[in-house]
C-alpha cells in the first residue's frame, strides 16, 4: 500500500520519473497511484503526468489523461505530439496538431520539430509546404537552427532536394549537422556531383559522418582524386583508428573507383578488422569478378574467427555459383 503523497511529493516523483526514462515501470506505477487518488485531472499534476507518460511511451494512458484535463499547456501538447511522432503514429500526431490549433494554441519550435519528423514519414506534400509556410511566417528559420535543420532533413529525406537547398541557403548560418543532412540527401538520391560540391563548400569542421558521405559521393562519381584527398584528411585527423564506418567507406570508395589494390591496402593497415570491413573488401572483389581473391578473404576471415553477417553469406553464395 503506497502512502498518501502531497502535491510537492508528487512533483518530486514526477520529476524523478521524467529524468529516469529508462524506468518506465515506475512511471506506470505512479500513473496508477495518481488515478487512484484522482490526481490525473488536476491541471498542474495532469499536464506533467501527460509529459511523463508520453516520454515513457505509454501513449494510450497519456492520451487518456490528456483528454480529461480542464486546462492544457503548450508543453503538454508538444509532448504528446512528439510521443506519437517518435513511435510511428504520424496520423495521430497530425490530428493532435489540428486540435491544438482549434484550441487557439500557438505552435512553437518544439511543435514544428515533432511535426517535421512526422512529415518525413508521410507522403503529404501539401502539409509539408503548409508547415514550412507556418515556420516562415513565425520567422523561425532566421532564429532557430534546430527547426531549420529539421526542415532541411525532412525535404532531403523525401528526395525534395530543390526545397532542401532553398531552406539551407535561407538559414542565417549552417552547422555541421545541416551540412551533413544536405550532403547525405544528395547521396540518397544518387546525385554524387551535387554531394561533392557541397562537401567541398562546407565551411564547418567535418566529422566522421561528413567524411563517410564524401567518400560515398566519390565512389558514386568515381572521383578517386577527391577520394584520396579525403583519405589523407581522415588519417591526418586521427579518425581512422576509432571509426569502423570510415574503414568500410574508404574500402568501398576505392572499390567503386576500380582501385582494388588501394582498397586492400586500407584493409591491411587496419588495427582491428571487423565484419563490415571484411564484407566491403569481399564484395568489392566479387563486383570486379575476382572470385579467387574474394574466396581467399572469406577463408582468412573464418580463420580469424570473425562471425559473418547476412551480406557475407550472400557474398559466399555468389562465390559458390560463380566458381
Residues 105, 109, 114, 117, CA torsion sign: positive
Distance in angstroms (rounded) separating the CA atoms of residues 208 and 214: 10
Q: What pLDDT score was predicted for residue 268? A: 87
Distance in angstroms (rounded) separating the CA atoms of residues 298 and 304: 10
Q: What pLDDT score was predicted for residue 2? A: 43
Residues 125, 130, 131, 135, CA torsion sign: positive
* Helix/strand/coil (H/E/C) assignment for every residue in 278-306: HHHHHHHHHHCCCHHHHHHHHHHHHHCCC
Please list the pLDDT of the chain residue by residue as tens digits (323 residues). 444 555 555 656 666 666 665 455 555 566 566 666 665 555 666 777 787 778 878 888 888 878 877 788 898 899 999 999 988 888 999 999 999 999 999 999 999 999 998 888 888 889 999 999 999 999 998 888 899 999 999 999 888 999 999 999 999 888 999 999 999 999 999 999 999 999 999 988 899 999 999 999 999 999 999 999 999 999 998 888 778 789 889 999 999 999 999 999 998 888 778 888 888 888 888 888 888 888 888 888 888 888 877 777 676 666 565 55
Residues 42, 43, 44, 49, CA torsion sign: positive
pTM of the predicted protein model: 0.77
Distance in angstroms (rounded) separating the CA atoms of residues 179 and 182: 5
Whether 146 contacts 161, CB under 8 Å: no
Amino acid at each position: 500500500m503506497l502512502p498518501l503523497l502531497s502535491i510537492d511529493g508528487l512533483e518530486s516523483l514526477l520529476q524523478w520519473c521524467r529524468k529516469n526514462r529508462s524506468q518506465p515501470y515506475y512511471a506506470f506505477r505512479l500513473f496508477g497511484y495518481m488515478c487512484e487518488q484522482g490526481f490525473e485531472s488536476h491541471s498542474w499534476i495532469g499536464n506533467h503526468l501527460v509529459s511523463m507518460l508520453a516520454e515513457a511511451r505509454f501513449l494510450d494512458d497519456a492520451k487518456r489523461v490528456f483528454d480529461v484535463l480542464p486546462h492544457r499547456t503548450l508543453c503538454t501538447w508538444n509532448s504528446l505530439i512528439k510521443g506519437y511522432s517518435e513511435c510511428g503514429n504520424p496520423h495521430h500526431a497530425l490530428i493532435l496538431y489540428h486540435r491544438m490549433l482549434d484550441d487557439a494554441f500557438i505552435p512553437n519550435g518544439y511543435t514544428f520539430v515533432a511535426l517535421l519528423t512526422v512529415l518525413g514519414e508521410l507522403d503529404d506534400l501539401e502539409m509539408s509546404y503548409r508547415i514550412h509556410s507556418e515556420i516562415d511566417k513565425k520567422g523561425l528559420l532566421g532564429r532557430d537552427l534546430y527547426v531549420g535543420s529539421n526542415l532541411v532533413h525532412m525535404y532531403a529525406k523525401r528526395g525534395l532536394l530543390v526545397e532542401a537547398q532553398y531552406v539551407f541557403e535561407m538559414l542565417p548560418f549552417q552547422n555541421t549537422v545541416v551540412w551533413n543532412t544536405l550532403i547525405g540527401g544528395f547521396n540518397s538520391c544518387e546525385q554524387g556531383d551535387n554531394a561533392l560540391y557541397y562537401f567541398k563548400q562546407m565551411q564547418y569542421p567535418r566529422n566522421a559522418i561528413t567524411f563517410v558521405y564524401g567518400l560515398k559521393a566519390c565512389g558514386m562519381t568515381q572521383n578517386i582524386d577527391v577520394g584520396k584527398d579525403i583519405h589523407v584528411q581522415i588519417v591526418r585527423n586521427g579518425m581512422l583508428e576509432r571509426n569502423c564506418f570510415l574503414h568500410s567507406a574508404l574500402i568501398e570508395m576505392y572499390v567503386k573507383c576500380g582501385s582494388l589494390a588501394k582498397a586492400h591496402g586500407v584493409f591491411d593497415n587496419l588495427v582491428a578488422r571487423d565484419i563490415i570491413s571484411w564484407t566491403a573488401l569481399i564484395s568489392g572483389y566479387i563486383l570486379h569478378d575476382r572470385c579467387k581473391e574474394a574466396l581467399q578473404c572469406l577463408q582468412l576471415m573464418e580463420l580469424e574467427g570473425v562471425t559473418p553477417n547476412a551480406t557475407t553469406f550472400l557474398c559466399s553464395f555468389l562465390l559458390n555459383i560463380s566458381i
